[in-house]
Amino acid sequence: MLRCLKRAFSRCKPEIMNSDQGSHFTNATYLELLDQAVVKAITHGKGYATDNSRTERFFSSPKYECI
């Protein structure tokens, strides 16, 4: 996932990455990548699955293309 994210950031870099509290998004390497890219990480608490639908959709395509 990190390799895909780096490729995505080379084309277009968001100001904010909105995600849930899954292990992919709380991983120190992931957070360091966002910090280096000057992208703010925002995580939602449990019970807010609908708030995360755009993030899930965004990552579903690169995840399947890279894996």
pLDDT tens-digit readout, 20-36: 788 888 889 999 999 99
2 Cβ contact partners less than 8 Å away, ≥ 6 residues apart:
29, 30, 33
* CATH match of 2-66 with 3.30.420.10: yes
* Residue closest to 59 by CA, chosen among 3, 6, 5: 5
User: pTM for the full model?
Assistant: 0.61
Domain locations along the chain: 2-66
pLDDT tens-digit readout, 44-53: 766 655 666 7
The conformation of residue 26, written as its DSSP 8-state character, comes to H
